[in-house]
């Protein structure tokens, strides 16, 4: 028992003493003190546990980020090693395809060509998805005329559509837009490629429409069409509609890349039916007030069979198989070729000829230095206006930005011969105009 004693003095000098049993109050106070101590201990333990968990999460995040970086580096290195021989094979096979006059050999060579193209598509898609998911593909925003981008896409896809007997139409658009030119081009490449691939007959049309302060680019086709209930599923990896799988090869990665690119660029994307049958994919982006980037080349000639006679092309490539394959392809197009493994030898060969150089095809990764520096040196010595194409398996933004600053066109390995020939045709046309 706990007793509390109180003494109170009364009038007259008497003293009153009171005894009170405060055991319950004392016990309650002790219980409260114990509860506070227990609570403090629990808070301390919980804080320590949360600190430990946060440390583990930070470590896990760091480990995951390092794994993503390592994966991206590995894929970049592996893709270069894989794309080098694949690029050589593509050049040789294209030369064989163009030399065939029919028969069983032509069929076999055509099948090899188709198989190589399928490998290229798969590798390119996997590399793009890896870079997008790891955050390695970041936008470099500029303002440019949509007509420049449309023209370059027309150069690339006109030969493909012609080979499939499809009518391909690009409606001119003079408005400038704000976006990443390279990533937007990659997005539209996937949409146009899909439209051509899944349109057995008819036409594909690419046009623009102003919508307030935005520009909507639409790709129309007269192909298979997409059921309403399937329009969200088509953007998933490895998802293809049954009817599409029956007429075209692929893993179903193209639209997955489109969705990721649109997200990175913060551009809206819509899929709908075309009134005349088929599909319509639309991408929306801001209209720019000024132009900060202009195209290095015009689209004067988009013929895949542009004449090459009279051209002198300088090729610099440290992989001898690719160099030989490129020379074989170009001479098959009736072009003259200076083919060297290093810039010094190329410069000596240029100095030794009295013919005018039509253009340069230069690999990026050389044994000494890089292709951009090599192009600068040759231009400084033989003419600042010599057209040039940088051919590389390196898809990193700093390479494309450095090339763009020097007005150099970039073609990724493996090179698409039709696109290459179209660009060389432009050079030839410009050379002929300048000579007049």
Token look-up 């013929």 returns 303
Taking residues 26-43, what's their average pLDDT?
75
pLDDT at 245: 45
How confident is residue 297, by pLDDT bands cut at 50, 70 and 90?
very low
Q: How far is CA 113 from the centre of its chain?
A: 24
Which residues neighbour 394 within 8 Å (Cβ) at sequence distance 6 or greater? 76, 80, 364, 365
- Looking at CATH, the fold of the domain delimited by 312-435 is given as Rossmann fold (3.40.50)
Taking residues 163-189, what's their average pLDDT?
89
Give dist(CA 10, CA 33) in Å, integer. 37
pLDDT at 69: 63
pLDDT in tens, 275-296: 667 888 899 999 988 877 655 4
Is a pLDDT exceeding 60 seen at residue 301?
A: no
CATH of 142-286, one of 3.90.25.10, 3.40.50.410, 3.30.565.10, 3.40.50.12780: 3.30.565.10
Token look-up 């007997």 returns 165
pLDDT in tens, 116-174: 777 776 677 677 666 666 666 677 788 888 988 888 888 888 888 888 899 999 998 88
In the chain, the percentage of residues whose pLDDT exceeds 70 is 75
pLDDT at 137: 67
Taking residues 48-64, what's their average pLDDT?
80
Taking residues 48-76, what's their average pLDDT?
73
pLDDT at 299: 40
Burial of 110 (0-12, 13-18, 19+ CB in 10 A): middle
Strand partners for 125: none
Taking residues 249-277, what's their average pLDDT?
76
CB 292 within 8 A of CB 232: no
Give dist(CA 393, CA 411) in Å, integer. 9
Is a pLDDT exceeding 70 seen at residue 236?
A: no
How confident is residue 77, by pLDDT bands cut at 50, 70 and 90?
low
Q: Which residue has the higher pLDDT, 333 or 296?
A: 333
What number of CA atoms fall less than 13 Å from residue 427's CA on the CB side? Answer: 27
In the chain, the percentage of residues whose pLDDT exceeds 90 is 21
Taking residues 376-389, what's their average pLDDT?
91
Of 19-28, 331-340, 353-362, 402-411, the poorest mean pLDDT is in 19-28
**DSSP-derived 3-state class of residue 48:** helix
Q: Which residue has the higher pLDDT, 427 or 339?
A: 339
237: number of Cβ within 10 Å: 14
Q: What is the DSSP string of 179-246?
A: E-HHHHHHHHHHHHHHHHHT-SSSEEEEEEEEETTEEEEEEEE-SS---GGGTTGGGSTT---HHHHH
pLDDT at 174: 86
Taking residues 393-409, what's their average pLDDT?
84
């Amino acid at each position: 028992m706990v007793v509390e004693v109180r003494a109170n003095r009364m009038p007259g000098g008497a003293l009153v003493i009171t005894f009170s049993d405060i055991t319950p109050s004392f016990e309650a106070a002790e219980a409260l003190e114990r509860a506070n101590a227990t609570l403090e201990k629990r808070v301390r333990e919980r804080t320590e546990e949360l600190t430990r968990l946060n440390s583990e999460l930070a470590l896990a995040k760091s480990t995951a980020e390092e794994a993503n970086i390592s994966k991206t580096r590995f894929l970049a290195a592996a893709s270069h090693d894989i794309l080098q021989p694949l690029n050589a094979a593509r050049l040789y096979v294209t030369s064989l395809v163009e030399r065939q006059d029919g028969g069983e050999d032509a069929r076999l060579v055509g099948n090899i060509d188709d198989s190589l193209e399928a490998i290229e598509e798969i590798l390119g898609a996997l590399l793009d998805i890896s870079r997008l998911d790891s955050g390695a593909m970041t936008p470099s925003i500029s303002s440019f005329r949509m007509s420049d981008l449309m023209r370059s896409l027309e150069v690339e896809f006109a030969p493909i559509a012609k080979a499939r007997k499809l009518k391909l139409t690009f409606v001119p658009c003079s408005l400038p837009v704000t976006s990443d030119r390279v990533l937007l081009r990659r997005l539209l490449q996937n949409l146009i490629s899909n439209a051509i691939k899944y349109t057995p007959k008819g036409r594909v049309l690419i046009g623009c429409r102003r919508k307030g302060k935005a520009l909507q680019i639409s790709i129309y086709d007269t192909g298979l069409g997409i059921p309403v209930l399937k329009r969200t599923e088509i953007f998933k990896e490895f998802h293809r509609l049954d009817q599409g799988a029956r007429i075209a090869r692929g893993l179903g990665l193209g639209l997955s890349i489109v969705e990721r690119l649109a997200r990175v660029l913060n551009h809206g994307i819509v899929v709908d039916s075309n009134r005349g049958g088929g599909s319509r994919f639309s991408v929306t982006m801001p209209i720019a007030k000024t132009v900060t980037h202009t195209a290095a080349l015009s689209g004067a000639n988009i013929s895949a069979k542009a004449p090459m006679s009279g051209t002198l092309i300088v090729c610099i490539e440290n992989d001898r198989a690719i160099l030989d394959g490129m020379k074989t392809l170009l001479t098959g197009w009736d072009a003259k070729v200076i083919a060297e493994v290093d810039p010094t030898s190329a410069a000596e060969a240029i100095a030794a000829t009295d013919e005018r150089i039509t253009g340069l095809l230069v690999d990026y990764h050389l044994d000494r230095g890089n292709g951009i520096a090599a192009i600068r040196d040759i231009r400084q010595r033989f003419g600042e206006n010599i057209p040039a194409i940088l051919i590389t398996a390196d898809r990193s933004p700093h390479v494309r930005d450095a090339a763009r600053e020097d007005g150099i066109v970039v073609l990724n390995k493996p090179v698409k011969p039709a696109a290459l020939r179209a660009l060389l045709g432009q050079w030839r046309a410009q050379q002929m105009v300048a000579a007049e």
